[in-house]
Amino acid sequence: MNFKLVTLLGVKINQEVYEVMIPTSEGEIAVYPDHEPLIALAVPGVVAIRHHKDDGNEKLQYFAISAGLIKITHKTIQLLVDEADHGDDIVEAESKAAYERAVQMRKDAKDQVELDKAHELVDRHAVRLKVAELRRRHRG
């Protein structure tokens, strides 16, 4: 089936895959060929892609995504999000430092606007750290 991941900056991936695991507002879903048609909300989290049926977890491709929209047909998956960072592009040390700054920003927030922005940054960098950890664990 074809998987297309589109961000505000353009298409991140557009290729044939076997399985895509996507975080939704109802929990994580795994989408395989001939999945029932579905439109759902994606939540910030980790997208994992298995390119071939026989691929082990060490071959999974990971993206850290923001919230967005999922459209599934029997032969396609379209995931539209603001941001998607490929696991290979995430530097774990930088994400950890950014996460710690966001946590401090949340502690120092003086109003609801600052607090909301800090929560958004904490969530974003927590997802990026999770992707970096998954990538490290599965690749040895």
Question: How far is Cα 21 from Cα 58, in angstroms, rounded to an integer?
Answer: 15
Angle at which helix 92-108 crosses helix 112-139, to 10 degrees, equals 160
Confidence (pLDDT) at 140: 57
User: What is the CB neighbour count within 10 angstroms for residue 129?
Assistant: 17
Q: Which CATH architecture has domain 2-87?
A: Sandwich (2.60)
Residue 54 above 80 pLDDT?
yes
Encode pLDDT of 82-136 as tens digits: 999 998 889 888 989 999 999 999 999 999 999 999 999 999 999 999 998 888 8
> What percentage of the chain exceeds 90 in pLDDT?
82
Residues spanned by CATH 2.60.15.10 within the chain?
A: 2-87
Residues spanned by CATH 1.20.5 within the chain?
A: 90-139
Question: How far is Cα 29 from Cα 34, in angstroms, rounded to an integer?
Answer: 14
**CATH code of the region 90-139:** 1.20.5
